[in-house]
Structure 1
Amino acid sequence: MENNSFNEIILDIDGTIWNTTGIVAVAWNKAIEMSGLNAKKVNAQILQQEFGKTMDTIANDLWPQLTEPERKNLLSYCCTEEQIAVRNNTLDITYPGVIETVRELSASANFYIVSNCQNGYIELTLEKTGLAPFIRDYECFGRTGKSKAENIQILMARNRITSAVYIGDTQGDADACSQAGIPFIWAAYGFGKVSRCIEKLEKFSDLKKLLAK
């Protein structure tokens, strides 16, 4: 792709910027215990298969036997415990080179985030990683209730972006890009496999080579 295709770069979070699944699994299991509901517990591997989907879809996948109100309440408990656990985490869970690469490339490219996460998660991610000064705007399912494809389009319209590229790690990300009409770069070091992408990043810093083409 030509250099100017990379002027506007939209990032996914989980499986692309960092991996919180180990921390989140502990937090969610705590919430499940506290809820008293007959809901199965999770582990990092289960969450890696689910992360990238919208929050309501994750709840439906994990706890199909619960009523919709029970799922909604349990998910709320889980998200509350998750926020506490991620905020209190002192380990470096970002993928190698992400922060340095975004910081370096932000001199010539604009970075954004679109995620299927709950409201408040992007803000926490930016706070914990120190990426806030380099992310120009963001959007998420928790704020709009809309799909990733729709949120990509909302963010692009709000920032008057006519051409952008999305970096994510799952087939859901690839499908969202197809629906939104923008190219997809696969973060191959993340959680998922994809059937199509314009480029593949074995590590995030490979983005510098793509920009240099």
Structure 2
Amino acid sequence: MPLSVDSLIFDLDGTLWDATATVTEGFRRARQRVSYVPTDITLEAVRAVTGQPYPVVYERLFPYLTAEQREEFRLICAEEELASARQHGGQPYPLLRETLTYLAAKYRLFIVSNCQTGYIEAFLEHSGTGSYFEGHQCFGTKNLPKADNVREIIERFGLQAPAYVGDTDGDYQASRANGIPFVFAAYGFGEVPEFEARLEQFSDLRSIL
């Protein structure tokens, strides 16, 4: 059933692009700068925590570190991850620009992600999609949960009937907290209990909107 919306707010990782290989490389470079992370950081491990807030990511990946070590390593990883994202970018999902061109002609488009400051900008630069999005917000700006950042976008831009497009339970919970429809990107990294629409590929947005 087609959704009746005036705007779309997108998650980033697992929804617009897959940058897990780039992020993994950043983690590995960070590991070389410390002595207390003994094991390799695999692509599979990074994929398993993609989309989670930063504290959750580091608690799950490095539960054996002390609080001080975890915070120090988080800052090093953030530096290396952002450098890697700016240099290499990620892999945009198929027909990303073509689909955004179609959507931008009809809807206002935004991004809200649990990433650090500068990461969304790296995506926009590498994908060449900056002109499609009216605004964005991320965890790194104020260390707020995704639901709060979605609410800020809705209020700041006066959105009347937005929907959130994402791939994880956290995305689903953020949409429910704001009482807006959730569009599930099933090609991404997570599972959700329910949704108003399901995408098998990003370009499916053209058939439901």
What interval of TM-score do these two structures reach, taking the shorter chain for normalisation?
over 0.9
Give runs of aligned pairs for residues 183-198 of structure 1, distance below 5 A.
183-198=181-196
1:119 to 100, 117, 124: 117
Deviation at 1:154, TM superposition (A): 0.8
The separation in 1 between residues aligned to 2:126 and 2:20, in whole angstroms, is 15
Q: Is 2:72 the partner of 1:73?
A: yes
Instruction: Summarize deviations over 1:67-126 as a string: whole Å, max 9, x none.
Output: 222211211111211122222227x61110112111222011111000010111111111
Task: Assess, with a 3 A threshold, how the Cα gap between structure 1 residues 175 and 188 changes in structure 2: closer, same or farther.
Answer: same
Matched to 2:22, the amino acid is I
The separation in 2 between residues aligned to 1:149 and 1:181, in whole angstroms, is 10
Instruction: Summarize deviations over 1:45-82 as a string: whole Å, max 9, x none.
Output: 21111111101111111112212222112111112111
The separation in 1 between residues aligned to 2:99 and 2:41, in whole angstroms, is 32
Displacement over 4 Å in runs of 4+: none
Give runs of aligned pairs for residues 61-210 of structure 1, distance below 5 A.
61-89=60-88, 93-210=91-208
Matched to 2:15, the amino acid is T
SS across alignment from 1:160: coil
Q: Please tell me whether the aligned partners of residues 40 and 62 of structure 1 are also in contact (alpha carbons under 8 angstroms).
A: no
Q: Please tell me whether the aligned partners of residues 85 and 119 of structure 2 are also in contact (alpha carbons under 8 angstroms).
A: no
- The residue that corresponds to 1:41 in the other structure is 40
Deviation at 1:39, TM superposition (A): 5.0
Question: What number of residue pairs does the alignment pair up?
Answer: 209
The separation in 1 between residues aligned to 2:196 and 2:91, in whole angstroms, is 27
Identity %: 34
Matched to 1:191, the amino acid is F
Task: Assess, with a 3 A threshold, how the Cα gap between structure 1 residues 26 and 2 changes in structure 2: closer, same or farther.
Answer: closer
Instruction: Summarize deviations over 1:111-160 as a string: whole Å, max 9, x none.
Output: 10000101111111111111111110111110011110111001110001
- The residue that corresponds to 2:4 in the other structure is 4
The separation in 2 between residues aligned to 1:56 and 1:80, in whole angstroms, is 16
Matched to 2:85, the amino acid is V
Matched to 1:161, the amino acid is L
Query: TM-score normalized by structure 1?
Result: 0.93
Q: Which runs of 5+ in 1 are unaligned?
A: none
Matched to 2:40, the amino acid is K
Q: Which runs of 5+ in 2 are unaligned?
A: none
